[in-house]
Structure 1
């Protein structure tokens, strides 16, 4: 088949790779001048099944409401007239029960574990590298109270297949010598040994180059999607700034813009943009930086070691499609980073970035056929898109091929 994929982020590029490997003739349409220039450009760098807990929960509901008035929190809500945000929020609130938290987290974990294996298989099969480190990730807490309450979700994930180790501060510093200077400020944490880190932009750039050269995937960069040409129950072509692209099937993987396109054609796709901030900084003294990825759960900041660089990531801000940022947006992030790794970096050398995560109310991506018999979705991966992208791409390729997926499809196949 001729298949058109909309979007060359990590999700769209992974889908294109698997579809082309199945023998399809694949064209990828991307509005930026290169792959991975949107959401995939600069995330936290964590490939983290350990972060599979869904956002919507009774505790998240309280934090969400506090974010309406306290903008010093990691979660910030900017009130504005936005009917779509209101509708999304109501759906989010309906997911904030213990039962829905557990069910959604199980689905995320299943896909995240599978996807981690897919990422590693792609790397082995293609030979591409992306500053990857396979040393695990530490999720740590600064107080005994937050440790006691915060480990509940990790224990639940462990019951459903995630290997973890609950660690005290001594064991934590043994695993991560970079945190020795703040040992007394940390109560303990959770070590997920199968988690890993890597630069998603490097991964996408290298995978796109491989797919183009070895599998014949055609990438149309600097090309915008204007509309879908629909006749009856199928999409005839994608109308773009470069002209119509006809084919047998279309896959929407446009990150936060997926919802905008889908709603134009009556597709129930509640993807909402959630803004995050990252700083990528060369390490002045590599011995003072982390050796693996981590997350300061009390300060709501994640970090990863990417070669000789440190990536800091923080904040979930509900502010529509605003991608702007200013130096003050990174102040708390730098303060926390310097507290954890004193002397490791000079913040004046940081590359600052802000991007939008495509969040679903239940934190579960949407994959599968949508309304029209040849239109498919692979989007809505939220804050763990880098983690789940390759697994969802392979899952989608199986659905399109009519094969039985390698993992249980319950809760993953789109039912809109």
Structure 2
């Protein structure tokens, strides 16, 4: 007789997401501004910012393989969180390009371990209750909002060189919260998929991974240069923070509504709609930056281009990679989408920004999202009823 499922560690998981995305809410909008203050070129900024994505190409697969083999997902998250804290401390030793390169590379290597393993742990704790994922993940969005608004307001009054200390504090929170997450039981599903490669060879899985790769590439200019772009058009740092926050507030709405959304629509349908709206969003950013109302509207589309996209993508990955393949499935999703796709996005954004300007760069981003949408329309068909 199977023992009853343990109580869901809601606040332990929610607290980790809160601090993890508080860190993201400081790094994504403001770290590029900090690097710009050190007089780095757009290409150098693109290279440094791409390190977060570069390490996500291979590091999550290393961590995911170890976690699936030994069944110690949370233990690996704890080690990686404290190693990230130590690695980031290198930025306090100087401001040279290669010193920052080394520190950010090490930080990215360890930091990339956390999210896919925590995602897999959360989904394992939830079991059949995956509709509750949004109510846990939304605390990450809350942390992001508080970070972008609070830090943006602070930086209107404090010099930018305070930023590394703020980042260090958020990493400390991640490390401390990781100690309170309980391990989850991993159920083995004897469904014939005894190799991750058997899953990856399926055309629908390849299409999903390729589309996620392109979505992350589309977001490269957004995460690397969006704050710089807005500042160059006269937006204040606090205003920039509120624009980032607006996107995530709308994202929270999606997470709260996710259970009803997925009960009514197929995951595949939600995913395709997210890509279509990403095309619209990046074209607006490209050509409408001088119109605040258009930029406000574009930020509300973050509900689709991240919130609905991410919730449906990880649910499909969880479905396609069963049992003991789940941690590696989430790692592959993170490494090939946020990793390889994010790397391409940061690098082409850095080159295109200097060569052709911001409008062309964000138009290229819209093109990436359009190509991904066409790929999904071709290969990803619903096979299960909504829910």
TM-score bracket for this pair, using the shorter chain length: under 0.3
Which structure features the higher share of helix residues? 2
Comparing both chains, which one has the higher relative contact order based on Cα–Cα distances under 8 Å and sequence gaps of 6 or more? 2
TM-score, structure 2 as length reference: 0.25
Which structure features the higher share of strand residues? 1
